Structure 1
Amino acid sequence: MFSGRKSADKLREQIEAADQAVAAAMAAIADDDVARARKELSAAPKTHFADMGWKVDLATAMIELKSGRHRQGIQKLINVCSRLDDTSMGRDDKNYLRLYALYRASEASKGGKAPTEMRVLVEDFRFDHTMVTPLLRKDFPLKKMDDADIAPPPPPPPVPVTEH
């Protein structure tokens, strides 16, 4: 009777630990520190693909790409994207991740064009950017943003109009 609750608690803890490890690894990748990213991701416990394994695999693919192993990284991206339907994520989240993978595969390919297998997975879909989970956008941003680009300067105050 109680073992079911303990198993659920253990699974929840594993998912949280994996999520934190991925967040730390992606932050290290953003800082161009591949060694730290590998170390952070190694702390992630093994989880089922549908629970959090997809996120760990996606971070692993990003580490591969960042370390110069483009072929392995792109293949890992294709594998993750082809299995996203096994997860319980919403349609917008899945499509956002597929688009993210397409962008990264395009950046990593020699000709600037993602492999056909990747493009087929991403073709003809739409998603509402506002419906995508904010944590996905934080860990896996579609484009890099500099600190200066985040907050544009405020507009100048209006010039007072004087009547003569």
Structure 2
Amino acid sequence: MLHRWTQPMFSGRKSAEKRREQIETAQEAVREAMQALNAEDLDGARSALSGAPKTHFADVGWKTGLAGAMIDLKSGRRRSGTSKLVAVCSRLDDTSLSKDDKNYLRLYALYRSSEVTKDRKAPVELRELVEDFRFDHTLVDPELRSDFPLRKLDPEAPETASPPPPPPAMS
């Protein structure tokens, strides 16, 4: 039996690798869940998110929480989804995300929560978190913008629109 003071010194490396793998797995699960939600596949989103390992909120726990809130909102559980959005957005300052990323995510939550209300108005708790801020859209992490788009994506629309036809020649 090894005592705690005689264990090999390399156990820190293994736990760091395990943590990194959990973070990557959780990020992939969130990406798949959000893609399924954008395709209106609630069951696919639930199953993708269920594969996400439990991670610390500051690592990517906020991301899984945000995806879980979106699943609740899309499935018609407005109260649950809204309360999860408020919980995630109020704790974003505990993360190492940039100020622009945090504000982008708060705006995303505000937009999504306002879409599901009858009066198209976001809850007061979310509006208070979003009031009086600015962010530079170009400084927001591209992965965040693809996983959590502010505008609804149209799956039939091509990624890049073809240029308009040239004007007719003047004779």
Q: Summarize deviations over 1:7-64 as a string: whole Å, max 9, x none.
A: 1111000000000000000011011111111111000000000001000000000000
Is 1:37 matched up with 2:45? yes
Is 1:157 matched up with 2:166? yes
Aligned to 2:130, which of 122, 125, 129? Answer: 122
AA matched with 1:87: T
TM-score when normalising by structure 2: 0.90
**Structure-1 separation of matches of 2:113 and 2:74:** 11
TM-score when normalising by structure 1: 0.94
Deviation at residue 139 of structure 1 after TM alignment = 0.5
Identity %: 65
Deviates more, 1:79-88 or 1:145-154: 145-154
**Structure-2 separation of matches of 1:26 and 1:131:** 22
Moved runs in structure 1, 4+ residues, more than 6 A?
none
Aligned to 1:17, which of 17, 25, 49? Answer: 25
Structure 1 counterpart of 2:157: 148
For the aligned residue pairs, the C-alpha RMSD in angstroms reads: 1.4
SS at match of 1:105: helix
Structure 1 counterpart of 2:64: 56
**Structure-2 separation of matches of 1:67 and 1:129:** 29
Structure 2 unaligned regions, length at least 5: 1-8
Is 1:26 matched up with 2:58? no
**Structure-2 separation of matches of 1:124 and 1:10:** 40
**Structure-1 separation of matches of 2:109 and 2:75:** 16
Deviates more, 1:138-147 or 1:88-97: 138-147
AA matched with 1:117: E
Q: Summarize deviations over 1:112-135 as a string: whole Å, max 9, x none.
A: 101111100000000000000000
Deviation at residue 3 of structure 1 after TM alignment = 1.1
Give aligned pairs, total.
162
Deviation at residue 161 of structure 1 after TM alignment = 6.8
**Structure-1 separation of matches of 2:59 and 2:39:** 27
**Structure-1 separation of matches of 2:12 and 2:137:** 37
Do the aligned partners of 2:38 and 2:153 also contact (CA within 8 Å) in 1? Answer: no
AA matched with 2:139: M
